[in-house]
Amino acid sequence: MGKIYCVMGKSSSGKDTVYKKLKEQYKEFRLIVPYTTRPIREGEKNGREYFFADENKLKEFRRNGKLIEARTYQTVYGPWTYFTADDGQIDLSAADYLLIGTLVSYQALREYFGEEAIVPVYLEVEDGLRL
């Protein structure tokens, strides 16, 4: 059975750096691409950093019981939701997976797939160094 390795930590703790290094070193990891309702930014590609979706897509996943977790942030541009969905990307019988997440997403993934399927990788960096 495959595992989902969930890289987490506070802002500026090095999550992206560790994620990229793991991705380079362990080519067998499949990546889980999360969704967001925020607009695509310059240099991003749909399906690479995120799947860019609208509120209707989020509601569809929720209605079909395929929404694993969602977090909404109030921004100056309005609410932006980031979410993980059971959209066929994850097949634990076939591979191990890697993703960047939050404590909330980790807990939701653990509830959805079971504790034995999720491996937390929490980065803790002293605040003075991090900031």
pLDDT of residue 10: 85
pLDDT of residue 80: 96
pLDDT of residue 82: 95
pLDDT of residue 19: 92
- pLDDT tens per residue, range 62-74: 999 999 999 999 9
This model's pTM is above 0.85? yes
3 state SS of 14: coil
pLDDT of residue 128: 80
Which residues of the chain have a pLDDT value below 50? none
Strand pairing partners for 6? 99, 120
CB 105 within 8 A of CB 72: no
Instruction: Write the CB contacts of 86 (distance below 8 Å, at least 6 apart in sequence).
Output: 61, 66, 67, 68, 112
pLDDT of residue 108: 95
Give the count of beta carbons closer than 10 Å to the beta carbon of residue 7: 23
